[in-house]
Chains A and B, each alone.
Chain A
Amino acid sequence: MITSDTFEPVLLEAAGIDDGHTIESYRSRGGYAPLEKLLSEKQPPEVVEMVKSSGLRGRGGAGFMTGLKWTFLPKDHPGPIYLCVNADESEPGTFNNRILMEDDPHQVLEGTIISAYATRASTAYIYLRYEYPKSWDILQKAIDEAYAAGFLGENIKGSGFSLDIYLHRGAAAYICGEETGLIESLEGKRAWPRIKPPFPAIEGVFRKPTVVNNIETMACVAQIARRGVDWFRSIGIPADPNNPRDPGSYGPKLYCLSGHVEKPGCYEAPLGITARELIDRFGGGVWKGRRAKAVIPGGISMGLMTEDELDTPLDFSGPGTVGCLGLGTAAVVVVDETVSIVDFLHNSCRFFAHESCGQCTPCREGTSWSLRMLERIRAGKGRLRDLDLLAEIGDTMGMMPGSTICGLADGAAWPIKNSIAKFRDEFEDYIKQTNPTGYMETDPVPALPIVTTH
């Protein structure tokens, strides 16, 4: 296996290269040649098989097997089939897709074209969040270059395969990153996630079979086509032989490192690097010589690891072993020892209260009330009972308890659950100190007006 010591970045190979975003640069690095070879030598099912056997798991957050997702499309469908590329990157702490689109857009496009060929999609929409105007300009220019070079449009390189790629601009809503929310938004509606089944592969955008994949997943597909399945499987954490349901965590991963580190940035490493190694080796350590109090393993919705848990490998199964929701987007945010965990959780609750789409009552009300309680606690009117109420909200909203349509509520719940479970003493001390006469109150108390949501 390639270890983090012997690993050379591939997804970020263009970083630091002048004009790395141009088609000339990409082709000089070997780009698009794999696409041409594959179009002339492989049938779509063989490409699906290639991605399936690579073990590639989606990089957007859920970690579902990409090749397997593609096999859910109906066989011999008359079409059209759509590919939606999810570039609505909005998970707090996450910016790897932005880096890929701005530094090496053709890598993303080549992966998209290969994925469309494999899934027999004739149109691909890249759903790009509004907040990335630079990515928009660079991607649009790259798409124009790809059309001019014959990699997009009718009958690509004489293969008989035709594909159009369009950019579609979002309007600042986190929920559009949920794949069926994205589909609804693309159709011109409010981005309310759909009840599944039917899954998008059967009935997706415009009621046609649809695959939704993340930008980094597309880049990985391009690299698998270029370097092969064996190369991809030589990186990362192999499947656990004692667990037949573990598909392993193969390939390179972009880790976003931010918060209280000396050198925030997007770093590429084999899946399974530990949070500690990432922080110390790439991030230059916790800033100002301080200690980490807590670390988000993969975007705020994944919850928190404590300092003692930083040797956890950041692969698809690692964060779950310490009570986190999962690897998520692999966005690692370091919170140093000076930060109040009450302030941290308030920030998290405010985010989710703002971004809940409002469709499912447990999420709409749960995110709103958790924020109201945190506002009250910070205003010196907290009660110990609030911690149990918060934990109850955390335990009851989400797809896992079965009370919501999508996973946004699970992501809202996890920081609450982890914070209270791992830092309960700090919450209790804070409440006792700031509300010495009322912290034992158990009768209902009036809510304070929310002043900071919008």
Chain B
Amino acid sequence: MIANRKVLTEDMLARIEALASRYPTKQALTLPALHVVHDELRHVPLDAVVEIAELLDLAPAEVQDTLTFYQFFYQDKPHGKVRAFVCRSISCALRGGEQVLDHLCEKAGIKPGETTADGNITIEPAECLGACDFAPCMLAGNDLHKDLTPEKADAFLESVGRQNG
């Protein structure tokens, strides 16, 4: 049904279509479809946008408009194998969150928002992660890292290095 399909796999299509009955419009599948692709590829290339648009009977510009509004989605290249969001909002900032972010980036040799050259990790500043009871905190993959210190940050970076050889 999608002409010249290059990015969306059969599995991705099946996962998107399994959600279709939940919504009365096809456009409502935009965010779920973007997530399906992003979960798999760690970015949503423009070709995927065109294919999602075709799948959902939308103009590619409509899907692209939605994608670019949410800064969550990478497009030009994938984020690192691990994506770490370090909170910089007020409750974490009051307890050293920004210092932890700087420390992590310095140790990893990157600036906030960048990915290491080996592609192992992307470190991003984030707004409130909703875990202010554990400030300063970081969300890396599905793991919430609580009450961060420079020592815990170092241990985290080491574990990322070990996982990815």
Contact = CB atoms under 8 A, between A and B. Distances in A.
A239 interface: no
Interface stretch (B3-11, B62-70, B150-158): B62-70
Contact of A191 (B69, B127, B129): B69
Contact of B25 (A171, A206, A350): A206
B46 interface: no
B90 A344 contact: yes
Contact of B132 (A94, A174, A187): A94
B28 A187 contact: yes
Nearest to B73: A171
A118 to B, nearest CB: 22
Given A90-B130, A129-B130, A190 B94 contact: no
B89 A351 contact: yes
Interface string A42-64: 00000000000000000000000
A267 B129 CA distance: 19
Interface string A76-98: 00001000000001111111011
Contact of B128 (A93, A134, A188, A189): A93
A95 B144 CA distance: 13
B163 interface: no
Contact of B65 (A123, A129, A133, A190): A190
A186 B95 contact: no
Contact of A98 (B29, B89, B93, B131): B131
A374 B62 CA distance: 36
Contact size class for A? 35 or more
A188 B25 contact: yes
Given A129-B130, A171-B35, A354-B127, A188 B29 contact: yes
A277 B134 CA distance: 21
A363 to B, nearest CB: 15
Interface string B21-59: 011110111111011000000000000000000001000
Contact of B144 (A130, A134, A300, A336): A134
B126 interface: yes
B144 A296 contact: no
A128 to B, nearest CB: 11
A191 B135 CA distance: 28
Contacts of B139: 131, 133
Main DSSP-derived SS at the A contact region:
mixed
B27 A347 contact: no
A335 interface: yes
Nearest to A174: B127
Contacts of B134: 264
Interface in A180-196: 185-191
Contacts of A168: 31-32
Contacts of A188: 25, 27-31, 56, 66
B31 A258 contact: no
A93 B132 contact: yes
A214 interface: no
A323 interface: no
Contacts of B142: 133-134
Contacts of B93: 347
A92 B66 contact: no
Contacts of B66: 188-190
A94 B128 contact: yes
B119 interface: no
Contacts of B94: 259-260, 333, 335-336, 339
B69 to A, nearest CB: 4
Interface of B: 22-25, 27-32, 34-35, 56, 62, 65-66, 69-73, 85, 88-91, 93-95, 113, 126-135, 139, 142, 144
Given A98-B130, A172-B71, 14 more contacts: A92-B89, A97-B130, A98-B131, A123-B22, A131-B139, A166-B22, A171-B72, A172-B126, A174-B127, A188-B27, A258-B91, A333-B132, A335-B94, A339-B94
7 contacts: A90-B128, A93-B90, A93-B128, A94-B128, A98-B130, A134-B142, A347-B88
